[in-house]
A and B are shown apart, each in its own frame.
Chain A
Amino acid sequence: MKTTNIWLLVFILAIFIFGLWTVIPLDSDRFGRQGLTLGLDLNGGSYLVYQADLSKKDPSQTNAQVMTSVISKIERRANTFGVKEPVIQQQGEDRILVQLPGEKNIDEAKTLIGQVAQLEFKETTSDSSGQPTKDANGQTIWTVAAATGSNGQQEVLTGKYLKPNAKVVLAPNTNEPQVAFEWNDEGAKLFEQITQRNLHKPLGIFLDNQMISDPTVNGVIQGSGVIEGLTLKEAQDLSIELNSGSLDVPLTVIQEQTVDATLGADSIRKSIVAGAIGISLIVLFMLLYYRGSGLVAVCALAIYSVLLLTIFKLVPVTLTLAGVAAAVVSVGMAVDANILIFERMKEELRGGRTLGAAIDAGFSRAWPAIRDSNVNSFIACAVLYWFGDTQGAFLVKGFALTLFIGVALSMFSAITISRIFLMLVIRIVKNPWFYGVKI
């Protein structure tokens, strides 16, 4: 055996042992990666695509600025809400992809994340009798409260003048939940003027044009205040939203997928059973049809599977149900290259070559077909990845990525691992029958 081959064998065994150490047990902590990263269709969770209405943005800002700002606010909200490892990304020009893995209270998280949370104060005008002016339907007419800012201009008082330290408190007397907030200097200045002119009159507190409460102003207030009339849950959400800041533009959900964790667990169990059966059938077929060569292929396949799992764990590749399917299918494809090589080898053996020469010829002559066919698979994977990416189909992307890794690794496995093993085996067994040739 040539020295390069010996080194190659050592290298293969080294990465195999490294792979085994990395993936066994599966949930072991290696290089900061604990277990395999499972997609939300396997682990449970929610996948949301929001469409931002950029026509409602502040004209002085660019689209990119608005999107960056909205995304960072959503991140803050998700983190404060306690979502574990949320994924929040911009998609295309005006869409935001939000993945909330394992989230139980998905509807609450969704509302919290997607709400604009524009806080405004509104005042009334008094009619001749001193009562608030009402419209024809008897509804009080509210107008947005503004006051003179430090630049001498009329400024509307909104949530943007709040310090990011709003918190939920319980009212001392009633134990009702309240959100306590503090204004920054500018906000305090505006709030002072507004409370001054609305003394002993109601002041409406509005969130996204929905009135939360309309307390009567009992004194001139500057720096801080409380918002009443909320349930505990609403108060908690409001404090998170006020602290993250209101979203620059309204968002609507245009795509959603939410999977219950129990369904995911079902899928995992079924995939493992199906994968085990499928791979066993391949092993059986290879052993029966190609005998000794088949055994070599099966060993190569075992190394291939361990390396595949190692890559999945270390990259980490997020495994979806489709990704698991791709991984199993790629095992089926990984033996393809072996089959091509073994068939070629058999031909060369029948043609009267010695075992060593037949192996060399088998590998070198099967190579163009293996290369060309796998390049076509790469093309398909690349286009699939693009397709999945543009439409935000994480299942499609997961499939494409996993299949790509699988096909690339299978080429390495067939060309290097199988060849080295065969080189080793022919030193021990010299009977052509062992390599699948009829004699």
Chain B
Amino acid sequence: MIDIVGKRNWFFLISLIIIIPGIISLAVRQLNLGIDFSSGTTMTLQFNTTVDQSKLRQEMSNLGFSEASIQKTGTGDYLIRVREISTDEKNSLISGLNKDMTDNVTIRDFETVSPLVAGEVARNAGIAIIVTSLFMLLYVAWAFRRVPNPFRWGTCAVISLLHDVLIVLGIFSILGWAAGVQVDSMFITAMLTVVGYSMHNTIVVFDRIRENFGRGISKDFAVTVNASILETIARCVNTSLTVALVVLAIYLFGGTTIREFMLALLLGVIAGTYNSICIAGPLLVLWDRGLAKSEPKSKPQAAPTAA
């Protein structure tokens, strides 16, 4: 029998290897905030003639927007991010571009957020994640009220959920400076969906542990947990696979507008599956044995299986 619980320290290590660079990146570079959080204007401009990106950049800085970020998003489509601009400024910018580039530019998408709103979004996003975690902790504790220490189950479920949040946040922080990926309110939406979905598989595993625990399949809690994980591993992978398939399909074919949103979901689903198999259950065992006692007990157990 595969001993997942016995190898838990290896799995914790793998998670840390993924999470720590993310945390360092978060600490040093934070997240690359989109206009929802930092205020400003984004617009998608469509040019009828072929436009060279460097020429567009030149024109933009001639018109007084040297700080503009310009990104090609499709044939003739450019996504432009500038500081918050008014309707008048927008109109003069467009007529300036039309004149200098002898084109008839269409604004396909125009979005502007003032600093007034932007500050609130960041605060509300934080509140949203905390409130969700809290309610889930309470619900899981309630759902597992018949087993000993229900709050322990709730806490482990929430820790494993924050594990997923940290992985996605960290990767997006790295992508922020490495690939210019920005974080907007849709990212928060993805995070909360990840939070909700990450719970699905954890609950499936916990539910089986609850059932096996009630049937008393083993006196050793670690054996019960390990058996439960192995019994549910196929369905955890399959349920995630179906969601991952659709998310991947939208990521690949759904257009640029929601690509980053889908990437966050995909990473979250993968992290959530890994965590419900390799992290959530072992966390319960770790807590059961106590942090201090777990080291000497787990080592002799892990050694024979590793050999």
Which residues of A are at the interface with B, using a C-beta cutoff of 8 A? 41, 49, 51, 107, 110-111, 253-260, 262-263, 266-267, 270-271, 273-275, 277-279, 281-282, 285-286, 289, 321-322, 325, 328-329, 331-333, 335-336, 339-340, 343, 347, 365, 368-369, 372-377, 379-381, 383-384, 386-388, 390-393, 395-396, 399-400, 403
Contacts and interface: CB of A to CB of B under 8 A. Distances in A.
Given A285-B241, A322-B258, A340-B239, A376 B136 contact: yes
Interface of B: 36, 44, 87, 91, 106-114, 116-117, 120-121, 124-125, 127-128, 131-132, 135-136, 139-140, 143, 185-186, 188-189, 192-193, 195-197, 199-201, 203-204, 207-208, 211, 231-232, 234-235, 238-239, 241-250, 252-255, 257-258, 261-262, 265
Chain A interface mostly: helix
A369 B204 contact: yes
Chain B interface mostly: helix
Contact of B116 (A254, A256, A388): A254
Contact of B124 (A253, A373, A379, A391): A391
A106 to B, nearest CB: 8
Contacts of A369: 203-204, 207-208
Given A282-B246, A325-B262, A393-B121, 12 more contacts: A260-B106, A263-B109, A266-B255, A270-B253, A274-B250, A277-B249, A289-B238, A347-B231, A373-B199, A377-B197, A391-B185, A396-B186
Contact of A263 (B108, B199, B247, B250): B108
A393 B185 CA distance: 8
Contact of B192 (A254, A331, A347, A383): A383
Given A328-B246, A343-B235, A107 B192 contact: no
Contacts of B238: 285, 289, 339, 343
A375 B235 contact: no
Contact of A390 (B112, B124, B250, B255): B124
Given A260-B107, A270-B255, A369-B207, A387 B125 contact: yes
Contacts of B44: 263
Given A49-B117, A271-B254, A281 B249 contact: yes
A258 B17 CA distance: 42
B197 A333 contact: yes
B245 A281 contact: yes
B248 A278 contact: yes
Contact of A332 (B111, B211, B243, B261): B243
Contacts of A333: 197, 200, 242-243
B246 to A, nearest CB: 3
A340 B113 CA distance: 44
Contacts of B193: 329, 380, 384, 399, 403
Nearest to A403: B193
A336 B242 contact: yes
B117 A254 contact: yes
B246 A258 contact: no
